[in-house]
């Protein structure tokens, strides 16, 4: 019989957050082994539940959510989204340039499909959230990775951004707060990125899904609020802040001047219509979520669960000989560094599989975030403190005698 293979469009696509290391963990679980999972940013399995009012809203509205909505989304949801971003200072907002989606993931795919021709380039951070690179590639584009400098607190290296712009570059992606590093970018760094984008007439795509998960008294600045003359596409949603990842509630907001991007907007409208609409029951909770007090604030202060889990993670990681990290201040991730000479690390995926086999701790290797050197891995500190302590104790014991072969 004729062999049917996958599309060649997938040849350069990877998503190692759910890749080979997780596959091995699933096989171990199927054999009855208990795995300590620090690998994926899904709050619900760790007992971080949605606000009660959100669930009640969903239940009450279900009888009215059986049909399609407008392809861009319900008016009530888009109005609440517009008002939320007005408060954050986004300029020139119009409800007709706001789109709801089945999570931010769908919006990222739509953004890239509507923009890119074969060979076009998009500047994407390294380390990145890998879906950005995957969606650029599947749309026919080329993801050019700019450096986020660990020595500078994981902030984007704006000189590296400048050096990597070519006549094929169409956009810059900014992930802030950042996944996988857990770092929040300051206004001056964001302002320099805006200056670069204006100078080279580039679109800014701002992935801000973690903007409501910020600690230590810091405040998130939306990059689209910095200059009213810069066209930005801001992506956000409720999956993380309201602990409803499975409801798939995301959106994108177009702001700034739009006269020069009318063709792109036509493309987005076409793609939005082709998928008919996003999840209608989920749209019906947006107004309640953004208009009330249902948030994560109580989790992010001393005594709050995410804050205390961050503290345990930070303290125990830095106590392990051969490990270091930049202290995270947002989201629920950190991206520690291994001493490659001490442990003879040449393959970060092998390190994660070795740890999994010996200590039953599941991590994601740095290569899964398009980080070139094999000396990092991502930790998700969503598990409760007692689980984190168990996992980091096991990690320390493992590294105490580890030398990669």
Residue pair 152/185 in contact (Cβ under 8 Å)? The answer is no
If one counts every other C-beta atom within 10 angstroms of the C-beta of residue 346, the result is 12
- Is residue 321 a part of any domain in this protein? yes
221 and 345, same structural domain? no
Range of the domain at 249: 52-291
168 and 28, same structural domain? no
225 and 309, same structural domain? no
209 and 160, same structural domain? yes
- Is residue 280 a part of any domain in this protein? yes
- Is residue 105 a part of any domain in this protein? yes
Note the maximum CA span of the chain: 63
Of the candidates 153, 145, 137, the one whose C-alpha atom is nearest the C-alpha of residue 15 is 137
- Is residue 1 a part of any domain in this protein? no
273 and 247, same structural domain? yes
Return phi, psi of residue 400, to 5°. Answer: -60, -30
Last residue of a domain, one of 260, 291, 322: 291
- Is residue 318 a part of any domain in this protein? yes
User: What's the rounded Cα separation, in Å, for the pair 48 and 381?
Assistant: 12
CATH number at residue 385: 3.90.1150.10
127 and 206, same structural domain? yes
189 and 209, same structural domain? yes
334 and 261, same structural domain? no
User: What's the rounded Cα separation, in Å, for the pair 399 and 391?
Assistant: 12
Last residue of a domain, one of 246, 263, 291: 291
Last residue of a domain, one of 253, 275, 291: 291
56 and 34, same structural domain? no
Of the candidates 224, 237, 162, 236, the one whose C-alpha atom is nearest the C-alpha of residue 187 is 224
**Residue with structure tokens 């990669």?**
404
CATH number at residue 281: 3.40.640.10
- Is residue 128 a part of any domain in this protein? yes
259 and 343, same structural domain? no
Residue pair 272/128 in contact (Cβ under 8 Å)? The answer is no
Q: How far is CA 21 from CA 27, 62, 238, in A?
A: 10, 38, 28
- Is residue 405 a part of any domain in this protein? no
User: What's the rounded Cα separation, in Å, for the pair 177 and 330?
Assistant: 6
**Structural domain count, the chain:** 2
pLDDT per residue rounded down to tens, the chain (405 residues): 888 888 887 777 767 666 789 999 999 999 999 999 999 888 988 888 888 888 999 999 999 888 999 999 999 999 999 999 999 999 999 999 999 999 999 999 999 999 999 999 999 999 999 999 999 999 999 999 999 999 999 999 999 999 999 999 999 999 999 999 999 999 999 999 999 999 999 999 999 999 999 999 999 999 999 999 999 999 999 999 889 888 899 999 999 999 999 999 999 999 999 999 999 999 999 999 998 765 788 999 999 999 999 999 999 999 999 999 999 999 999 999 999 999 999 999 999 999 999 999 999 999 999 998 999 999 999 999 999 999 999 999 999 988 887
360 and 276, same structural domain? no
H-helix or E-strand spanning residue 37: strand 36-37
Would strands 203-207 and 169-175 be described as parallel, antiparallel, or unpaired?
parallel
- Is residue 378 a part of any domain in this protein? yes
Residue pair 360/390 in contact (Cβ under 8 Å)? The answer is no
109 and 42, same structural domain? no
Residue pair 102/69 in contact (Cβ under 8 Å)? The answer is no
């Amino acid at each position: 019989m004729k062999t049917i293979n996958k599309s060649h469009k997938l040849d350069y696509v990877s998503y190692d957050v759910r890749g080979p290391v997780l596959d091995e963990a699933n096989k171990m679980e199927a054999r009855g082994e208990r795995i300590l999972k620090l690998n994926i940013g899904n709050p619900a399995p760790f007992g971080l539940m949605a606000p009660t009012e959100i669930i009640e809203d969903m239940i009450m509205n279900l009888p009215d959510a059986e049909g399609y909505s407008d392809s861009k989304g319900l008016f009530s949801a888009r109005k609440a989204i517009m008002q939320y971003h007005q408060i954050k200072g986004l300029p020139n907002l119009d409800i007709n340039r706001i789109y709801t989606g089945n999570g931010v993931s769908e919006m990222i795919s739509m953004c890239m499909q509507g923009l890119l021709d074969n060979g076009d380039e998009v500047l994407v951070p390294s380390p990145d959230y890998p879906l950005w690179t995957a969606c650029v590639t599947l749309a026919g584009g080329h993801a050019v990775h700019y450096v986020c400098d660990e020595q500078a607190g994981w902030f984007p290296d704006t000189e590296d951004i400048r050096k990597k712009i070519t006549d094929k570059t169409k956009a810059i992606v900014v992930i802030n707060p950042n996944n996988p590093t857990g770092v929040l970018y300051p206004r001056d760094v964001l302002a320099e990125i805006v200056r670069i984008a204006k100078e080279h007439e580039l679109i800014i795509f701002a992935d801000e899904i973690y903007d409501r998960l910020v600690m230590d008294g810091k405040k998130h600045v939306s990059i689209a609020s910095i200059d009213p003359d810069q066209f930005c596409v801001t992506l956000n949603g409720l999956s993380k802040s309201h602990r409803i990842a499975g409801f798939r509630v995301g959106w994108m907001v177009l702001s700034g001047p739009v006269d020069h991007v009318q063709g792109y907007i036509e493309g987005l409208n076409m793609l939005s219509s082709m998928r008919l609409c996003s999840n209608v029951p989920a749209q019906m909770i947006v107004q309640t979520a953004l208009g009330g007090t249902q948030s994560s604030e109580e989790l992010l202060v001393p005594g709050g669960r995410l804050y205390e889990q961050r503290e345990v993670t930070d303290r125990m990681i830095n106590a392990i000989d051969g490990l270091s990290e930049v202290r995270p201040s947002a989201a629920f991730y950190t991206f520690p560094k291994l001493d490659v000479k001490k442990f003879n690390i040449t393959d970060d995926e092998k390190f994660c599989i070795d740890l999994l086999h010996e200590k039953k701790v599941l991590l994601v290797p740095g290569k899964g975030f398009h980080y070139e050197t094999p000396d990092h891995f991502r930790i998700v500190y969503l598990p409760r403190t007692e689980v984190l302590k168990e996992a980091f104790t096991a990690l320390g014991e493992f590294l105490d005698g580890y030398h990669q072969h």
